[in-house]
Each structure stands twice: as structure tokens, then as C-alpha cells.
Amino acid sequence: MIALLFLGFSAGLPNLLVFSTLNARLADVGVETATIGFFSWLGVTYSIKVLWAPVVDRLRLPILDRLLGKRRSWMLLAQVGIAAGLALMAITDPVVSPEKMALFGLLVAFSSATQDIAIDAYRIEIAPVRLQAALASSYIFGYRVALLVAGAGALYLAEFWSWEVSYQVMMLLVGIGMLTVLVVREPAVNHFAAAADIARRVQEEAAQRAHLPLGLARLAGWFSAAVAGPFVDFFRRYRELALLILLTVAVYRVSDIAMGVMANPFYLNFMEFTKTEVADVTKVFGFFMTIAGSLVGGVLVVHFGVRRILVLGAVMTAATNLLFVWLAMLPPNLITLAVVVSADNLSGGIANVALIAWLSSMTSASFTATQYALFSSLMTLPGKFLGGFSGIVVAGFGYPTFFLLAGVMGIPAILLSLYMLKNGHRLDARAPVTEASETET
């Protein structure tokens, strides 16, 4: 649990540094609003990590694998990429060289997404199923602390020193994750080895029936287990519901993510709060409200079932985004800002807990890393893509209209969540055997 606490911190640290904190930096130094919106496309990297998840899950790195093992070697390589990208972002002027800033941000985002894949696999393999909930809780807490550091901490450093110093300090903090990787042990056994069994079976069939050379037979087995296996398993289990499930995952956070792209420019440029005020209210205070929302969401899921709270989270997310329309029409006031941020973070915490619990209930233990990468990729991809156009909407129509549209984008998530609630018995019947009886608890 201690290891996962620090690994969670390592996973959460780079996230905001290529998203909302970067947007605040760009807004603060005078980058155009439309350009800031396009920078949010860096986050798409997290949304397509499923494309290289099979490689991280099964490929052994030369030299590093022998020294550290498969999981730790991938984590360390990813952390080196994160540190290098942050160091380059620290010394780059986004006004003079926005293309370079985007390129270095892409390096951070790609490396961070790769680290997420490796940490998820490590968490699954390092402990038995009965300890996974405890490990996940420790990981999430570390992740949230990192968001506080990379959000409020980075803004404080930028306010009292400079953005260059802020990103240099964040780069040094990547060392926490590196040290953790060097200290912790590599998982001794892959607890979910079904994929390897599939690879061997396909390899044998390819060699016998198709008379393929041994090298091609091995390639066919690897592809089937690493790439095709997780998707075949999911679609075979859920059949006609599979596409609707994936659509629900894809749209559930569209409203929240699209709104978040313009949050810091809204606070700093439109409302004219200082960086310290934004850090105090939206990052520090918002951190505790998000934790409170997560705790409330966990209790509600236990008492009312995950799909009911999934619906509640979708409704609350869309409704609280509409509060920003009200905020944009008022003169700047920290108390009003705190009220809106409280509602937004509470609803976000509840919705996030419900969504993670629901996705976990549908993930097969045989293909956890790749299937969860599929879910988490779809979970953010549409919002990140649409968020790239947020700056154009704000520039053309203003913040109130933008926030209104963000709230309206939450309607499909509400409707699809209601459909999943109505068809709960069908979902339970097709869930992984070991978890089917626990879906609603």
C-alpha cells in the first residue's frame, strides 16, 4: 500500500502539468484563447493509450528488464520521459515557441500514459484479488495529492517565482516515483496468466493447421493474446450491449472534461482572480471537496448500487456545469467561486467513484491491463477532442454560452446511464464470473 501511494503520486503529477496547469501558464503569459484550447489535445494521448497497452503489457525491455523486471523497467523508462519533457517545458517560452511547447508536452503526456499502463499492471500482479481494493484506495489518494501539488503547488511557485522554476520543481518531484520503482520489488508471478495460455494455444493451432513457420506462429499467438484477446472477450460476453457500454463510457465525462479546458483561463483572464486565489479555492479547497465527494460516492454506491449512482453522477455533473453560467454573469467574488467549485468537485468525486466501480465490475481479470486501458481511453477521448475547440467557442460566443453548451453535452450521459440502470439484470448476467454477484455492491 505504501508503494502504491507513491506510485499514485508519480502517476498524478504530470497530468495537470499538460492540462489545466499548462492552460493557466499559457493564459498567464498571454497566449491566445483559441491556441490554449488546442493545447488540450495533448490530453488525447491518455485517451489512446490502449493502442500501445498490449506492447507495455507483454514486451520486455532490453537490459532494463534484466535489472528491474518487466513492470518496473517500463515504469522507470516512462518516468525518465516525463522528467525530460518537464525539463524542456520549463525552459521553453510558449509565446515564442508554441510548437516546441506542444512537442515537449506531448513527450510528457505519452510517457505519463505509458506509466499509467505499467502501474495498473503492477498493481494487479503484486497482490491477490482480496487486496486490490486497498491498493486502489492508496493509489487514488497518492494521485489526488499529486494533483494538489501539480495544481496549487505549481501555481504558488509561479506566483512567487516563475513558471520556469515551477516546472523545474515538478521535474525534480518525478524523482519520488523513480526512487519508489528502484525500492519496490517486482511481482513474482503473473496472477492472471490466461493471456499467455491463449498465445500458446493459437501458436500451436497456427503451426499445425496453417503450417506457419515457428516465428509467424509465435507472432500470431502474441497478437491474439495481447491485442485481439481482450476485445474478443469483452464483445463475446456483452454481445449487443457492448457498443452501448462503450458509448456510455465515451460520453460520460464529456461535459466535465470539455468544461475543464477553459476553467483556468476563465478564472484568471475573465474573472481576473490572482494565481494565488485560484490555487487557494480551486486547487486546495477543491482538493478536499473532491475527496469528500469520493467518500460520499463510495457510501452511496454501497447503499444504492453502482448504476443508480452512475445516473446521479451524470445528472450532477451536467447540472453543476450550468452553475458556471451563473458565475460568469456575476462580479468576481471568492465566496461565490468557492460555492460553485464545491458543487463541481463534489459532483465530480461522486461521478468518478461510480464510473470506476462500474468499469471495474466489467473488467475481466484475464485481460485487466488492456481492457481497463480501453475503458479509460474511451472515458477521456471525446472530451479531450471536443475540448480542443473550446477556445474557439469562448472567443466567438463568450464564457456563458460555452458553459451552457458544456452542460447540455451531459444529456447523452444521463440517458445512457438510465438505459444501463434499466438493463442492469442483463449486465449482471454477462459480467465476469468472479464479480457478477458483486456488481451492485
Per the CB < 8 A criterion, the answer to whether 10 and 149 are in contact is no
User: How is residue 72 written as a grid cell?
Assistant: 518496473
Q: How far, in Å, CA of 210 to CA of 220, rounded?
A: 11
pTM: 0.69
Indicate the pLDDT class of residue 9, thresholds 50, 70 and 90.
Answer: very high
Helix/strand/coil percentages in the chain, nearest 5: 85, 0, 15
Nearest to 172 by CA among 152, 155, 150: 150
Is 294 a residue whose pLDDT tops 70?
yes
Can you tell me the distance from the alpha carbon of 396 to that of 390, in angstroms, rounded to the nearest whole number? 10
Task: Give the residue-averaged pLDDT of 276-287.
Answer: 82
Q: CA 174, CA 11: separation in Å to the nearest integer?
A: 9
Residue 286 burial (CB count, 10 A): 24
Ramachandran quadrant class, 305 (left: phi over 0; alpha: psi -120 to 50; beta: rest): left
CA distance 35 to 389: 9
Highest mean pLDDT among 68-72, 131-135, 174-178: 174-178
pLDDT in tens, 74-104: 999 999 999 999 999 999 988 888 889 889 9
CA distance 415 to 417: 5
pLDDT for res 203 = 53
Considering only the C-alpha atoms of the chain, give the largest distance between any 2 of them, rounded to a whole number of Å: 75
Residue at 47: amino acid letter: S
Q: Which of 46-55, 379-388, 397-406 is the most confident on average? A: 397-406
Q: How many residues does the chain have?
A: 441
187-218: pLDDT as tens digits: 875 544 545 555 555 555 555 555 656 666 66
Question: For the ranges 51-55, 159-163, 189-193, 209-213, which has the lowest average pLDDT?
Answer: 189-193
Say what the pLDDT of residue 441 is. Answer: 37
Average pLDDT, stretch 150-159? 88
Sign of CA dihedral 122, 126, 127, 129: positive
Complete domains list, the chain, with CATH? 1-191 (1.20.1250.20), 213-441 (1.20.1250.20)
